[in-house]
A and B are shown apart, each in its own frame.
Chain A
């Protein structure tokens, strides 16, 4: 773990509120009260809590037995309110974002920035020009305060609380996350960036993100995630709801580098109207367990869903990732490209669903799962689930598993590359098709992380 460079933390003594361990109805009420929420939101929360308690812990994917639910703190509020100027952010918190290079990146490459620290968004900014065009980029709490009617219209409609146990939990105790609204015809060319940071030990982070891209508008949202190097487990259980209206285009990029004790159990889903395009780009490097299957509900004719994912599973890690593409209208298309690397006993699984209903005449989907296994202790599995309920749709599924052989390494070494360079060039070559989809700064960062991850890993 000495290679994890984001493992620092700062004291939680000055937090403005720390919930005691465990989950209760009182806590849910307390969160809602502190946030001064409308009554209807509290009712949604309480209903979701009931659903959460009645649902079993999922046992069909990665093992969750080491996650001690009662030891978690479900709400941790570091500061009273989000700031719009880094100079106002308390030193202990700002230091962490400085170390991650956030203010630097904001100056050079981003249209807007949000920073979440444990349960609350501590910083938010958006370029003036975009604000004038009516673009909204707020914390979800602010979004609810300022635009309750929009939030109410979509909240829990794309991912209902009963969808799965973790979605129910998020709905009950959600805090923070991003609220993005791009009005009709507005194109946001630079990315909107959110940084999610867990700082406290045994923390639960339950951000809720809602993104609405109106007709013919477009945007790119990027999130980065990291956490301190604590020995005990933390939980990150986010819910993301994306609405892509007619002819709109949305790309949602995640670079997840949680510390290797974090359980990352996330539900992400988009609905895509006629001629809309939704792209998920999902990079999972960190965490102990990730279970995440971003989905697209292709509602309108010719709607298009895409998923590009990279996951790296090292010692003690299980990356159970995939995608769901649900074709509900004629001539809808989808593409999934999943690349995984398993090493040092790590396990990566691809779990995907393609469904084409009767009405989805002429739909087309292509799935490519590509797994690279670096040693004999590591493992890769594929669990595809395909349902095609009409006669005119087509589905292509390709799956490849390859091992880096000693012979390949020797060949490269015989041409003067060190063993590390040889491993690096093979791994970069494997991931290249997805890395080239990332903004340049992220591609550089990802290459750097992968380089760190891969030191001496071919056994």
Chain B
């Protein structure tokens, strides 16, 4: 992914100014900066949140495409995954149904639902959730940490080409941080890429990082 000259305003306030950033295939990058420096705005902009207005001079090239011209779902389907800082609850939609729909949307086939459910249960246990979480509604009644773990679980399921982890560490305990490190190293091993947005240096311990970017206002 190649970001050039990215300038973003939200509600009339400029949150990113002429930002440049590049992430190559198989690389792990980190974006650091204090609260309010625009780190999360970058994640929301790349996800395609329409509240974030982008200047005409801004460019984001991704796998030969102009990413800014794609809708959020198209971005997801070309391999971009943004893990939310504050994932929203969706009453009435179970984790199972969400995963089934998104897994299918990415072009994957589900042969037997029972096998798919087993797979989800294993992934849930991997990220520190329980089997029961699969049947619960998305993030409804979930603690902050459980919400983050569900984001990680979907990341494992969907295997995106580029994962953007927005403050994934907040709300996670030491065990949770360990899981994040394992997932990031798996991403790298499989030749995929990640951008980790954080201000927690502890998360980065023992991580093989291509580059640390810093935003200052």
Contact = CB atoms under 8 A, between A and B. Distances in A.
Interface in A400-421: 402, 405, 407-408, 410-419, 421
A418 B84 CA distance: 18
Interface stretch (A192-200, A232-240, A325-333, A426-434): A426-434
A428 B48 CA distance: 25
Contact of A416 (B76, B88, B138): B76
A425 B97 contact: yes
Given A410-B47, A410-B49, A411-B84, A417 B101 contact: yes
B189 interface: no
A413 B73 contact: yes
B82 interface: yes
B105 A429 contact: no
B90 interface: yes
Contacts of A408: 88, 90
Interface string B45-56: 001110000000
Contacts of A410: 47-49, 72
A416 B105 contact: yes
Contact of A411 (B88, B94, B137, B158): B88
A413 B49 CA distance: 10
Nearest to B103: A416
Contacts of B215: none
Given A421-B101, A429-B97, A415 B90 contact: no
A217 to B, nearest CB: 36
Contacts of B106: 416
A414 B163 CA distance: 12
A233 to B, nearest CB: 35
Interface string B62-96: 00000000011101110000101001101111100
A418 to B, nearest CB: 5
A415 B48 contact: no
A339 to B, nearest CB: 10
Contacts of B94: 429
Contacts of B47: 410, 414
B40 interface: no
A405 B75 CA distance: 21
B10 to A, nearest CB: 14
B23 interface: no
A153 to B, nearest CB: 45
A425 B137 CA distance: 12
| Interface size range on B against A | 20 to 34
B102 interface: yes
B154 interface: yes
B113 to A, nearest CB: 16
B101 A425 contact: yes
A418 B106 CA distance: 11
A414 B164 CA distance: 12
Interface string B33-45: 0000000000000
A416 B76 CA distance: 5
B84 to A, nearest CB: 7
B98 interface: yes
A102 to B, nearest CB: 32
A402 B140 CA distance: 13
Chain A's interface size range is 20 to 34
B98 A416 contact: no
A418 B91 CA distance: 19
B154 A415 contact: yes
Contacts of A413: 48, 71-73, 76
B92 A432 contact: yes
A419 B88 contact: no
A318 B216 CA distance: 54
A415 B150 CA distance: 13
A412 B138 CA distance: 10
A170 B206 CA distance: 80
B85 to A, nearest CB: 12
Contacts of A402: 91
Interface in A363-416: 402, 405, 407-408, 410-416
A417 B107 CA distance: 11
B102 A415 contact: yes
A425 B82 contact: no
Contacts of B76: 413-416
Interface string B135-150: 0011000000000000
A414 B72 contact: yes
Contacts of A422: 73
Given A413-B71, A416-B106, A425 B88 contact: no
Contacts of A415: 76, 98, 101-102, 105, 154, 158
A405 B84 contact: no
Contacts of B138: 411
Contact of A419 (B73, B77, B154): B73
Contacts of B90: 408, 411-412, 426, 429
Contacts of A425: 93, 97-98, 101
A417 B104 CA distance: 9
Contacts of B87: 411
A426 B92 contact: yes
Contact of B82 (A412, A414, A421, A432): A414
Contact of A405 (B77, B88, B105, B137): B88
A426 B88 CA distance: 13
Contacts of A414: 47-48, 72-73, 75-76, 82, 84
18 contacts: A408-B88, A410-B48, A411-B87, A411-B138, A412-B98, A414-B48, A414-B72, A414-B82, A415-B101, A416-B102, A417-B105, A418-B105, A419-B73, A425-B93, A425-B98, A426-B90, A429-B137, A430-B91
Top 8 A-B pairs, shortest CB-CB distance: A429-B92, A416-B105, A415-B102, A416-B76, A413-B72, A429-B93, A413-B73, A430-B92
Given A412-B102, A416-B158, A429-B137, 15 more contacts: A407-B88, A411-B88, A413-B48, A413-B72, A414-B47, A414-B48, A414-B73, A415-B76, A415-B101, A415-B158, A417-B73, A421-B105, A422-B73, A425-B97, A429-B92
Interface of A: 402, 405, 407-408, 410-419, 421-422, 425-426, 428-430, 432
